[in-house]
Structure formats: C-alpha cells, structure tokens
Amino acid sequence: MRTELQARADAKGTVKPALQDDYRLLELLGDPLGRAFREHGLPHDATKGSPLAARNQSILAHGFQPVSRNTYEALLRPTVALLLEAGIAEGKIPRFPQSNAAD
C-alpha cells in the first residue's frame, strides 16, 4: 500500500489518503476498526453504484445529488456497527429522524 500511496503524492511528497485508504491501512496494520469496516459491508472499492459513491455525490459529502432511502439505509447500518466497534455506547449514537418522504 505504501507504493500505491506514494504514487499519489503531490509535488511536495504529501499524500492525502481517502476514507477507503484510511480504513484499508488500519486493517493492514491489524487495527480491528479497519477489519470491521470491511466486514460490515463498507467496500474498500467505492465504485459507481456503491453506497459510498452515492454519498460522495450527495450533499452529505462533495456533491448535490439527493440520497435515496436505500442508500441512506445501506450507509446507516454499517456506520452504526463501526461506531459500536469503536467503543461508542449504543445510547450515545444519535438517532436520526424517520422521514415519510418518497425516495
């Protein structure tokens, strides 16, 4: 992974790993959170059609596209699982309001 990241360094040698890279690196270093990221269904490869790719194009991240209910649910479940894995007590995890709006 070092070679992969070094290939993306800027002119000053600075590397800015993306979210996927961060969790992949954690997993390679033996951190349980990196393993949990993969095991709970958040892909390391955020290809088109993945919940993370949809999130990246949404107002939640870098874009302006609305997020569908399916995408929201596909991201919420593994996110809650990661928070629990990180030691956050279930009662401390925010509950998001339910919407009756159509997708």
- Which pLDDT does position 46 carry in this prediction? 52
CA distance 8 to 17: 9
Which mean pLDDT values do the consecutive 10-residue runs of the chain (103 residues) have? 90 89 91 86 58 77 82 81 89 79 56
User: Can you give the pLDDT at residue 99?
Assistant: 67
Residue ranges covered by each domain of the chain: 2-10+17-91
- pLDDT for 42 equals 63
Longest dimension (CA), the chain: 49
pLDDT at residue number 85: 87
pLDDT computed for residue 43 by the predictor: 55
pLDDT at residue 41, rounded to an integer: 66
Is the CB of residue 52 less than 8 Å from the CB of residue 21? no
